[in-house]
Chains A and B, each alone.
Chain A
Amino acid sequence: MPGWLFGSLTAEHCGSCSSAAMAWLVVRLAISVSLLYTASAVFEDQVGKFDWRQQFIGKVRFALFDTQSQASKKLLVATDKNVFASLNSRTGDLFWRHVDKTGPEGHIDTLLMYGQDAVVVVGNGRLLRSWETTVGGLKWETVLDTGSFQAAALVGVQDHVKYVAVLKKSSISLHDLSSGSQIWVENLPDSDTVQYQTIYSGGNGLVFVLGVVPNSHIVIVEYKIEDGEIMNKKSVEAAWMSSLETSCTIISSGILLCADQITQSLYTLPLQSAEQTEMRQIHLQTLDLEVASGFQPVLTSTQPNPAQPPLSEFFLQLSPDHHILLQLKDNLIAPLRDFNPSYLAAFATSGERTVAAVMSPKNDTACSINLFSADTGRRHLDTTIIYHMDPNGGKPNRLYVHAFLKKDDSVGYRVMVQTEDLTLTFLQQPGRVVWMREEALADVVTMEMVDLPFTGTQAELEGEFGKKADGLLPMVLKRLSSQFILLQAWLAHLWKLFYDARKPRSSVKNEITIDTLSRDEFNLQKMMVMVTASGKLFGIDSKSGTILWKQYLENIQPNSVFKLIVQRTTAHFPHPPQCTLLIKDKDTGLGSLYVFNPIFGKKSQIGVPALPRPILQTLLLPVIDQDYAKVLLLIDDQYKVTAFPSTKNVLQQLQDTASSIFFYLVDSSQGKLSGFRLRKDLSTELIWEVVIPAEVQKIVAVKGKRANEHVHSQGRVMGDRSVLYKYLNPNLLAVITESTDTHQERSFVGIFLIDGVTGRIVHEAVQRKARGPVHFVHSENWVVYVYWNSKFRRNEFSVLELFEGAELYNSTVFSSLDRPHPPQVLQQSYIFPAPISTLEATLTEKGITSRHLLVGLPSGNILSLPKMFLDPRRPEVVSEQSREENLIPYAPEMPIREEWFINYNQTVSRVRGIYTAPSGLESTCLVVAYGLDIYQTRVFPSKQFDVLKDDYDYVLISSVLFGLFFATMISKRLAEVKLLNRAWR
Chain B
Amino acid sequence: MNLRARACVSALLLFGLRVCFSQDIKLQEDDEDVMFKTPEEDVRVQVSGRALVPGVRAQDWISSARVLLDGDKHVGFLSLPVPQHQISPASFCRDDGSFTVSDVPSGSYVLEISSPTYRFQPVRVDITTTGKMRARVVNYIKTSEVIRLPYPLQMRCVGLHSYFIPRETWGWSDFLMNPMVLMMVLPLLIILLLPKVFNPSDPEMRREMEQSMNMLNSNQELPDVSELMTKFFSPPKSQGKAAGGGGARGPRGGAPSPRAGASRRKMRD
Contacts and interface: CB of A to CB of B under 8 A. Distances in A.
Interface stretch (B12-20, B186-194, B202-210): B12-20
Given A8-B21, A136-B63, A106 B8 contact: no
B241 interface: no
A47 to B, nearest CB: 8
A132 B119 CA distance: 24
Nearest to A178: B86
A909 to B, nearest CB: 9
Given A176-B90, A821-B1, A768 B19 contact: yes
B14 A2 contact: yes
Contacts of A139: 79-80, 82
B72 A5 contact: no
Interface in A99-150: 99-102, 105-106, 123, 126-127, 129, 132, 135-141, 143
Contact of A45 (B90, B91, B167): B167
Contact of B88 (A39, A43, A136, A181): A181
Where chain B touches its partner, the secondary structure class is mixed
A831 B140 contact: yes
A760 interface: no
Contact of A744 (B37, B100, B170): B37
Report which residue of B18, B19, B64, B164 has the largest number of chain A beta carbons within 10 angstroms of its beta carbon.
Answer: B164
A310 to B, nearest CB: 29
B141 A137 contact: no
A334 B5 CA distance: 91
Contact of B71 (A744, A825, A858): A858
Nearest to A47: B164
B153 interface: no
Interface stretch (A272-280, A322-330, A786-794, A881-889): A786-794
A825 B161 contact: no
A105 B72 CA distance: 12
Interface string B81-116: 010001110110010000110110000101010101
B180 interface: no
A7 B26 CA distance: 9
A2 B140 CA distance: 24
Contacts of B22: 5, 7-8, 10-11
The 9 closest A-B pairs by CB, nearest first: A835-B71, A137-B80, A179-B91, A136-B63, A904-B163, A859-B114, A905-B116, A181-B90, A858-B71
A899 B163 contact: yes
B264 to A, nearest CB: 11
Given A138-B99, A178-B86, A901-B161, 9 more contacts: A10-B141, A41-B164, A41-B165, A138-B62, A139-B80, A768-B23, A822-B8, A835-B71, A858-B114
A898 B162 contact: yes
Given A105-B103, A135-B80, A179 B8 contact: no
Interface of B: 1, 4-5, 7-8, 11-12, 14-15, 18-19, 21-23, 25-26, 29-30, 37, 44, 46, 58-59, 62-64, 66, 68, 70-75, 77-80, 82, 86-88, 90-91, 94, 99-100, 102-103, 108, 110, 112, 114, 116-117, 119, 138, 140-143, 161-167, 170
Interface string A429-473: 000000000000000000000000000000000000000000000
B78 to A, nearest CB: 6
B165 A905 contact: no
A752 interface: no
A299 to B, nearest CB: 35
B79 A805 contact: no
Nearest to B24: A11
Contacts of B12: 2, 825
B8 A137 contact: no
Interface of A: 1-3, 5, 7-8, 10-11, 13-14, 39, 41-45, 96, 98-102, 105-106, 123, 126-127, 129, 132, 135-141, 143, 176, 178-181, 744, 768-769, 791-794, 805, 820-822, 824-825, 827, 831, 833, 835-837, 858-860, 892-893, 898-899, 901, 904-907, 910, 951, 953, 956
A824 to B, nearest CB: 6
A904 B37 contact: no
A179 B112 CA distance: 26
Contacts of B166: 43-44
Contact of A951 (B7, B11, B110, B167): B167
B173 to A, nearest CB: 16
A245 B116 CA distance: 42
A13 B70 contact: no
Nearest to B13: A2
Contacts of A905: 116-117, 161, 163
B141 A893 contact: yes
Contact of A101 (B18, B75, B82, B165): B75
Most A C-beta atoms less than 10 A away, residue of B64, B103, B163, B167:
B163
A78 to B, nearest CB: 14
A833 B21 contact: no
Contacts of B102: 126-127, 141, 143
Contacts of A44: 164, 166-167
B7 A1 contact: yes
A138 B75 contact: no
Contacts of A100: 75
